[in-house]
A and B are shown apart, each in its own frame.
Chain A
């Protein structure tokens, strides 16, 4: 679980990242507050700044979802969270 903090503009990047939106996300603890870590993830859910999202943080799974076998992707935004009931 994470929150979108911003995005990265990168003109020069590996060809496999062409057309991919790069989002800066901060990961959250179980109460929904930032835990201090930030990472960059590709977007698969159309997420925007401020959105709470689900991120996939396993390279092999990310490559399978993106259908790019050689992409060095480590994190992927796969869903935008509407609500969580505990």
Chain B
């Protein structure tokens, strides 16, 4: 799963019957700092997300599972109210017990 941002809407009249009634949105995967983490893609909306919202995305088989095996490669499965990343002191791997011989 990953975080993404809704940046547009996709309209498709002719589509697989299993996609009938599903909203297609253009989403851009993002990191917690809001920067893009990949190329924009079309996702099927399962929760009622809107433009500009931060969403939770599921890919491939996991996405299609959420919609009764519809042919879906990317699905919006949640709307994120916030991505909380508290400031923290960077901990070096050595301090945490990562050691190499």
Interface residues of A (CB under 8 A from B): 5-14, 17, 22, 24, 31-33, 37-41, 49-50, 52, 59, 70-75, 81-86
For residue B61, give the distance in angstroms from its CB to the closest CB of chain A: 6
For residue A8, which residues in chain B have a CB less than 8 angstroms away from its CB?
A: 3, 56, 78, 80, 82-84
B58 interfacial by beta-carbon distance below 8 Å:
yes
For residue A43, give the distance in angstroms from its CB to the closest CB of chain B: 12
The answer to whether A10 touches B84 (Cβ under 8 A) is no
Partner of A73, one of B62, B82, B85: B62
B51 interfacial by beta-carbon distance below 8 Å:
no
A75 to B59, CA, bound (A): 11
Instruction: Take A17-B77, A50-B91, A73-B1 as given contacts and tell me if A32 and B96 are in contact as well, using a CB distance cutoff of 8 Å.
Output: yes
Q: Mark B42-79, 1 if CB is under 8 A from A, else 0.
A: 00001110000000101111110110000000010111
Interface residues of B (CB under 8 A from A): 1-3, 31-32, 37, 46-48, 56, 58-63, 65-66, 75, 77-86, 88, 91, 93, 96-101
The answer to whether B79 touches A72 (Cβ under 8 A) is no
Instruction: Take A8-B56, A72-B77 as given contacts and tell me if A24 and B47 are in contact as well, using a CB distance cutoff of 8 Å.
Output: no
Partner of B48, one of A10, A12, A50: A12
The answer to whether B83 touches A74 (Cβ under 8 A) is no
A59 to B63, CA, bound (A): 10
The answer to whether B37 touches A49 (Cβ under 8 A) is no
The answer to whether B66 touches A13 (Cβ under 8 A) is no
13 additional contacts, CB 8 Å, given A6-B85, A14-B66, A86-B99?
A6-B83, A9-B84, A10-B79, A11-B79, A12-B78, A14-B47, A38-B31, A50-B91, A72-B62, A72-B75, A82-B97, A85-B97, A86-B98
For residue A85, which residues in chain B have a CB less than 8 angstroms away from its CB?
A: 97, 99
